[in-house]
């Protein structure tokens, strides 16, 4: 690196140039209306509106062309909604005057419409308010952009989409568009997901539908394609000849915390593994796409999912933390797992024989999400350092975003002793002063730009459910029971035994410590 300086060059990247993506090139002359359905709910207040505010701050939602509409059944005024949102935008009591002014300017863009999710009257009123905004901005009818964000339970998706289709679409096509964003969970199994996809698919074309999985918006997840396909030294190593196993881990150090009723309906596999962790697996395991066009990338992800073999019962460990059923909203005899370790096998030339271990749990001894690629032992180990552990490439998704390579080095001193250390890229240290955007910010911006690379396609969703539905039905029918584990532990001991059987070698005595300045 020149002059030994660690310099990050900043420059503006146009929409068409950004990572070479093939984004929607329709002229964007009309104003933009963003509608948050379920505006009074937790998701909207905690995630959607803060993400829109940060996009506003960065100039992506200019006040002269954007208006934001909240829609929900709750009968409140514009100011009441603004006051509910304000507390999630001002989190620091010592916030500067400039920040408070920016929050006020943003909230001036927010208007509220009350109505039910299955009657035309409310959506006709919403359409009238959107049209009034478009007229005030001198937008030619049909050139405007309408984005509908469904921060709602999936049960109302079909009726809401039907109301949008019949009452709130652009009236003609002059370069404008109508797009909908739907949140997970997309169904509970293959049949319900396909039914939901079919109902929405009858109303909107696939390019209009954005199935959001916020994990695909995380900085380190977005870095996976660059790491794998822009670095020569990974190319020959990334296969079954060199990699022994891959772990994709999600751990939380708290339980359901008031969400027991909701969580019990889905469980840890539906909530985390079938979507978030499986999406990460696709990016780790996929072949190099023909280009960075969204459809080429999603084609390769689907191929990976279609190559996954049926899950074996002996390669699954389920757990439920003690005291989970003490939650009054959880049934006394709940069979819902709060922990799961599942081994997936990919039947193709690159990955035959390499276990992909997906592990997620609540009320564990730490909070983190990471990808851990463990390499095979060094053949002919003349240093006899096998006991210290294998080489591993670790991508830490949260918290303290980082990438590091665990490798064996000589311990300083007169003796020829080896020790494990790491080559480390810690984002907080390397990219000082750079704010890592929240996943929802990035994905909402992608939706406005018409870039579907980080959204789940219908055939991809179907392939994901095909993998997990048989296992989920066995759990739902009570055929497979979760093992009890203590809150604050690593989970059931059987999970560590499964990891060892799958070939994972744990490094004892080594702890990665995020570097400091």
How confident is the model at residue 16, as a pLDDT? 34
Does position 21 have pLDDT exceeding 70, yes or no? no
Tell me the per-residue pLDDT of 186-220, one tens digit each, with 9 for 90 and over. Answer: 888 999 999 999 999 999 999 999 998 888 888 77
For residue 70, list its beta bridge partners: 36, 112
Cα–Cα distance for residue pair 283/63, rounded to 1 Å = 36
Q: How confident is the model at residue 94 (pLDDT cuts 50, 70, 90)?
A: low
Active site residues: 276
Quick: pLDDT tens for 351-374: 999 999 999 999 999 999 999 999
Q: Is the model's pLDDT at 10 over the cut of 50? A: no
pLDDT at 22: 40
Please compute the mean of the pLDDT values over residues 80-97 and round it to a whole number.
Answer: 82
DSSP assignments along 374-419, one per residue: EEPPPSS-TT--GGG---EEEEEEESS-EEEEEEEEEPSSSS--EE
Between CA 395 and CA 404, with CA 399 as vertex, the angle to 5 degrees is 30
| Average pLDDT value for residue range 416-420 | 71
Tokens of 13: 């990247």
Task: Lowest mean pLDDT of 59-68, 81-90, 427-436, name the range.
Answer: 427-436
Q: Quote the pLDDT of residue 26.
A: 42
Alpha helices in 202-293 (DSSP H): 219-222, 224-229, 260-268, 278-285
Which tokens is 237 given? 């190593």
| DSSP structural state of residue 420 | E
SS3 303: helix
> CB–CB of 391/372 below 8 Å?
no
Q: What is the mean pLDDT of residues 399-421?
A: 76
Which H or E run contains 197?
helix 190-201
Given a cut of 70, whether residue 72 has pLDDT beyond it is yes
Would you give the DSSP letter of residue 99? H
Which class for 399: exposed (0-12), middle (13-18), buried (19 or more C-beta within 10 A)?
exposed
Q: What does the DSSP 8-state code read for residue 435?
A: P
Beta carbons of 446 and 455 less than 8 angstroms apart: yes
The average pLDDT across 254-259 equals 83
Output the pLDDT for position 494. 95
Write down the pLDDT at residue 445.
92
**pLDDT, mean of residues 86-109:** 82
Any residues with CB less than 8 A from the CB of 100 and at least 6 apart, and which?
Answer: 90
Per-residue pLDDT band for 480 (boundaries 50, 70, 90) equals very high
User: So where are the chain's domains?
Assistant: 23-183, 216-435+457-502
Percent of the chain surpassing pLDDT 90: 50
The candidate with the shortest Cα–Cα distance to 58, out of 434, 474, 336, 355, is 434
Reported as type and span, the H/E element at residue 463 is helix 458-476
Q: Which of 246, 315, 237 is nearest to 283 (CA)?
A: 246
**pTM exceeds 0.75:** yes
Of 402, 392, 464, 412, nearest in space to 184 by CA: 464
Domain 216-435+457-502: homologous superfamily in CATH: Dihydrodipicolinate Reductase; domain 2 (3.30.360.10)
Question: Measured between alpha carbons, how far is 25 from 38 in angstroms, rounded to an integer?
Answer: 30
Characterise 65 by phi-psi region: left (phi > 0), alpha (psi -120 to 50), beta (else): alpha
Is residue 213 within 8 Å of residue 282, measured between CB atoms? no
321 CB-near residues (< 8 Å, 6+ apart): 255, 338, 339, 362, 363, 484, 485, 486, 487
Q: What is the pLDDT of residue 387?
A: 65
What mean pLDDT do residues 381-394 have? 75
Res. 430: pLDDT tops 90: no
pLDDT in tens, 148-194: 999 988 889 999 999 999 999 887 667 789 999 998 878 889 999 99
- Domain 23-183 matching CATH 3.90.79.10: the answer reads no
pLDDT at residue 505 above 80? Answer: yes
């Amino acid at each position: 690196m020149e002059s030994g300086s660690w310099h990050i060059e900043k420059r503006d990247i146009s929409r068409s140039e950004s990572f070479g993506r093939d984004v929607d090139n329709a002229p964007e002359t009309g104003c933009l209306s963003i509608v948050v359905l379920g505006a009074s709910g937790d998701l909207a207040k905690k995630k959607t509106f803060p993400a829109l505010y940060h996009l506003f701050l960065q100039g992506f939602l200019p006040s002269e062309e954007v208006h934001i509409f909240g829609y929900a059944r709750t009968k409140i005024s514009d100011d009441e909604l603004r006051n509910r949102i304000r507390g999630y935008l001002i989190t620091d009591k010592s916030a500067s005057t400039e920040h408070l002014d920016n929050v006020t300017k943003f909230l001036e863009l927010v208007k509220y419409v009350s109505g039910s999710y299955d009657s035309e009257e409310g959506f006709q009123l919403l359409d009238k308010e959107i049209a009034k905004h478009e007229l005030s901005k001198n937008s030619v009818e049909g050139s405007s952009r309408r984005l509908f964000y469904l921060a709602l339970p999936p049960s109302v998706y079909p009726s809401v989409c039907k109301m949008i289709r019949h009452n709130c679409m652009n009236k003609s096509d002059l370069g404008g568009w109508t797009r909908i964003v739907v949140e997970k969970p997309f169904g509970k199994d293959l049949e319900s997901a396909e039914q939901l996809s079919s109902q929405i698919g009858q109303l909107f074309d696939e390019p209009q539908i954005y199935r959001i999985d916020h994990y695909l918006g995380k900085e380190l997840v977005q870095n996976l394609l660059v790491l794998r396909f822009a670095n020569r030294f990974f190319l020959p190593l990334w296969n079954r000849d060199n990699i022994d196993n891959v772990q994709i881990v999600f751990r939380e150090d708290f339980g359901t915390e008031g969400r027991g009723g909701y969580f019990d309906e889905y469980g840890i596999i539906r909530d985390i593994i079938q979507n978030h962790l499986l999406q990460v697996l696709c990016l780790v395991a996929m072949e190099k796409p023909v280009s960075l066009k969204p459809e080429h990338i999603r084609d390769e992800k689907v191929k990976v999912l279609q190559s996954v073999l049926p899950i074996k019962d002996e390669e699954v460990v389920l757990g439920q933390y003690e005291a989970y059923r003490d939650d009054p909203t959880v049934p006394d005899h709940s069979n819902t797992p709060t922990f799961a370790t599942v081994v997936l096998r990919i039947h193709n030339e690159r990955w035959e024989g390499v276990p992909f271990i997906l592990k997620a749990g609540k009320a564990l001894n730490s909070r983190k999400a990471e990808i851990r690629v463990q390499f095979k032992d060094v053949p002919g180990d003349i240093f006899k350092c096998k006991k210290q552990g294998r080489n591993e490439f670790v991508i830490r998704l949260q918290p303290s975003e980082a990438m590091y390579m665990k490798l064996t080095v000589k311990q300083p001193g007169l003796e020829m002793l080896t020790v494990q250390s790491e080559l480390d890229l810690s984002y907080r240290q390397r990219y000082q002063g750079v704010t890592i955007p929240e996943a929802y910010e990035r994905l909402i911006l992608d939706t406005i730009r018409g870039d579907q690379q980080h959204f789940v396609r219908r055939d991809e969703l179907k392939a994901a459910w095909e993998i997990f539905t048989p296992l989920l039905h066995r759990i739902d029918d009570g055929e497979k029971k979760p093992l009890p584990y203590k809150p604050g532990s690593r989970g059931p001991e059987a999970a560590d035994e499964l990891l060892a059987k799958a070939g994972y070698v744990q490094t004892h005595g080594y702890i990665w410590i995020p570097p400091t300045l």
